[in-house]
Structure 1
């Protein structure tokens, strides 16, 4: 990198804002799984939006590519620089201010580097709820959640980050600042520009702050763990829950027996609620802001009808917060547990809810035909059709042999997903891992429109190059 650019960065940010020591750089140059590695001469750590603007303006003038990075908890390599050593990593981890909470409007305005759990806690302190919840909430940041349009376990009720975001502040590639921090529920004045930046993975600019929608705090909850024969039973069950509980349904998670087996084997403190084998499991949760809402009775009605229709093999209803936490631990421990079984090939797909049973059957068959003995870890959010279709090697298979077939196995999952009118990325984004393969699954006209938007905002191609958009 040009020494003059480095000197100017020091002038803008001061000693605390520039990381150049190789030992300190290391944590910014790899994703948390170690799946993607890059190099960079420097990491810039701006402390406010003005400094972000100065950095992007400088890089725009000098032709320096910028890789925005939040908590670096992504799974697709979207926040990792390439190996050229010429890119600048722009970390938002000093943009940590909560700018305000408005109880009347039920909004919270936060900067991009605020950790998701901190937002949840600030909302709770105000007697409100920020409902986004996911496994990395103790380390992922709001900027990253926005950049990837994060979903999590409560999408069935509250939606993704697109639905939870009212306004954003963005620094454009040339250093201009767009202050779109409007907390309005209605603003019918043309194109909704914020939606272009949400899910763009830092390829159009750097989101520096956002106005997020809050909801009434939850004061009643009812949770059940149920055993199922197959995914069709889950689809039928969620239909009953929606008809009976309506908007009080806040979580519906489906898990294969393989998923739960790994958790029970590797996650300390977990136990089988049934003590007997079942092919599939579901975790369903109802919640309400009323302290005395009759959720237990509603859940009893749901389970009673499901048993009458022979959808359930068994069921247990949580009695108290400790049991609720224990049931959720079985769901939330899957990703961690699978890592103990060797390489995990992760696929984050979505299909229409109605075709989940046929999709799972067809995809499992295709994967087992491609690699006999492969262990398929299927789990996800039935309420929005999002399944995490993760693969572990057959017992006894060499790690590198398994990794060498990652692209072939991914094609099996993606081809099947496309065949059922689904998407190959539900909530993790494209990053660098899916940027080329997406060209085979998106219509050419859609890719042309996306490239046109990129050209409009970033004609020099300096914002997170090599991510999201395929070459061509």
Structure 2
């Protein structure tokens, strides 16, 4: 009996039939990445329901030297939760670990297990008059463990930061099966290296996140959502700085080019243009307040009126109700889906300094389109924190082998441009499998040495999410 088979049988004996899935039909949806570009194989999905069970699985995996690939909602964008294609690893699903252990308005903190869906945590926080201020398009399926392991960002980083800023403590099973309990959430704790911070963003390569303590903030009493039309990304940044100088209520600021809006209107049912006429660029603005006595909509409307008078924006519409506000956000959240419906797209999750982003967007798009005639390059997303999703669509180059034939060369050019601008080739989606080679090519020797040394120190057997992140 192989080491894998022995491990599967031992886990079945300890966890029962619900703890092990070996039916290929049930495994199949979980061995490919969300985009359907990377396909792996696994003989089983191991599904623990507690930290104790995770620790037992990891201990046995270390004993048998069988690699494990931790997985939550499988919504990642870099194939970081996809098993190797040779079937050498087993999937470790955290989805059964879906309990919210505590929610406290007094402590402004929640403790949730790794398999808790983000939207579920939103609802639980709302019930006590609080909220967890991180959201993204996959909120109905992504999990807290995955968000922590990839240091996810989303649309509210401008005001509240990434998961690294929102997680106050981590519970995790380390590669030897021991349990790190860091859920106390102490504001001051100088006992040497921060294991919590090492595990956040480690993509499951240093251990399995089983629960997190996260920061809550007061629930929104009022919000105002506006859609603005602009001439350029520079004007969008002017608008953001104009608003930031006059109010502290802006927590969402998303840049959308006209071509992305056109794709959404073409492919996503029930969407409509927020403004009459076309504008080369658009900015979606959300302002919020926990104070029910503040007329946030009137404040935002007045500020946008001044921006219009000063020529910063060309037009604007403020959502008149929640349904319209959600309709504005649906446009932004549906861009990737619309691109997939249109055809082949190379997605680059990049960041540069906020002040440099408008120029970078224009110049990099032109450079890519010059180098690869027929493609369409554009960027959308979180302008305020310097993170733009720079996508290149195949357009007239569409062919079954486009990703392989030209994709690598396009990505190499984009990454070179980002690096030359002092930016990062991975702003919020992680490295996973898809960016390992580029990370090694473009990173300093010091960074690569440190990554490898940390990995070797904590996971000497190399059983934790092999083939991800660390070159």
Give the TM-score of the pair, scaled to structure 2. Answer: 0.97
Q: How far apart, in 2, do the equivalents of 1:223 and 1:141 lie?
A: 26
Spell out, residue by residue over 1:264-323, the C-alpha distance to the aligned partner (whole angstroms, 9 max, x if none): 111111111223111100001110000121323431342133223311111111111121
Verify the 8 A CA contact 1:244 1:298 in the aligned structure 2. Answer: no
- What is aligned with 1:268? 269
1:253 matched to 2:258: no
Question: In the superposition, relative to structure 1, how do residues 464 and 265 fare at CA in structure 2: closer, same or farther (>3 Å)?
Answer: same
CA drift at 1:462 = 1.1
Q: How far apart, in 1, do the equivalents of 2:396 and 2:190 lie?
A: 57
CA drift at 1:453 = 1.0
Structure 1 counterpart SS, 2:469: coil
1:278 matched to 2:274: no
Question: In the superposition, relative to structure 1, how do residues 156 and 60 fare at CA in structure 2: closer, same or farther (>3 Å)?
Answer: same
- What is aligned with 1:156? 158
User: How do 1:137-152 and structure 2 match up within 5 A?
Assistant: 137-152=139-154
Verify the 8 A CA contact 1:223 1:283 in the aligned structure 2. Answer: yes
Verify the 8 A CA contact 1:258 1:376 in the aligned structure 2. Answer: no
Structure 2 counterpart SS, 1:51: helix
- What is aligned with 1:13? 15
Q: For the aligned residues, what is the CA RMSD?
A: 1.3
Q: How far apart, in 2, do the equivalents of 1:26 and 1:194 lie?
A: 32
- What is aligned with 1:243? 245
- What is aligned with 1:437? 438
1:136 matched to 2:138: yes
Verify the 8 A CA contact 2:374 2:397 in the aligned structure 1. Answer: no
Q: How far apart, in 1, do the equivalents of 2:212 and 2:397 lie?
A: 48
Verify the 8 A CA contact 1:363 1:412 in the aligned structure 2. Answer: no
Aligned residues: 469
- What is aligned with 1:299? 300
1:358 matched to 2:359: yes
1:203 matched to 2:205: yes
CA drift at 1:399 = 4.0
Q: How far apart, in 1, do the equivalents of 2:284 and 2:7 lie?
A: 53
- What is aligned with 2:195? 193
2:42 maps to which of 30, 40, 51: 40
1:106 maps to which of 98, 105, 108: 108
CA drift at 1:441 = 2.1
Q: How far apart, in 2, do the equivalents of 1:78 and 1:214 lie?
A: 27
Q: How far apart, in 2, do the equivalents of 1:464 and 1:315 lie?
A: 47
Verify the 8 A CA contact 2:361 2:378 in the aligned structure 1. Answer: no
Verify the 8 A CA contact 2:134 2:153 in the aligned structure 1. Answer: yes
CA drift at 1:417 = 0.8
CA drift at 1:6 = 2.3
Question: In the superposition, relative to structure 1, how do residues 396 and 61 fare at CA in structure 2: closer, same or farther (>3 Å)?
Answer: closer
Q: How far apart, in 2, do the equivalents of 1:188 and 1:294 lie?
A: 43
- What is aligned with 1:232? 234
- What is aligned with 2:74? 72
1:118 maps to which of 120, 125, 139: 120
CA drift at 1:244 = 0.7
Structure 1 counterpart SS, 2:342: coil
CA drift at 1:397 = 3.3
Verify the 8 A CA contact 1:306 1:312 in the aligned structure 2. Answer: yes
CA drift at 1:403 = 4.9
Q: How far apart, in 2, do the equivalents of 1:17 and 1:405 lie?
A: 43
Verify the 8 A CA contact 2:394 2:402 in the aligned structure 1. Answer: no
Question: In the superposition, relative to structure 1, how do residues 226 and 173 fare at CA in structure 2: closer, same or farther (>3 Å)?
Answer: same
- What is aligned with 1:333? 334
Give the unaligned 5+ runs of structure 2: none
- What is aligned with 2:347? 346
Verify the 8 A CA contact 2:351 2:423 in the aligned structure 1. Answer: yes
Structure 1 counterpart SS, 2:53: helix
Give the TM-score of the pair, scaled to structure 1. Answer: 0.97
Verify the 8 A CA contact 2:343 2:395 in the aligned structure 1. Answer: no
CA drift at 1:361 = 1.7
Q: How far apart, in 2, do the equivalents of 1:90 and 1:311 lie?
A: 51
Question: In the superposition, relative to structure 1, how do residues 82 and 376 fare at CA in structure 2: closer, same or farther (>3 Å)?
Answer: same
Structure 2 counterpart SS, 1:86: coil
Bigger Cα displacement from structure 2, 26-35 vs 204-213: 26-35
CA drift at 1:400 = 2.6
- What is aligned with 2:463? 462
Structure 1 counterpart SS, 2:246: helix
Moved segments of 4+, more than 4 Å: none
Spell out, residue by residue over 1:30-85, the C-alpha distance to the aligned partner (whole angstroms, 9 max, x if none): 12221111111111001100110011101111111111111101111100111222
1:51 matched to 2:53: yes
Q: How far apart, in 1, do the equivalents of 2:383 and 2:303 lie?
A: 16
- What is aligned with 1:391? 392
Q: How far apart, in 1, do the equivalents of 2:145 and 2:330 lie?
A: 26
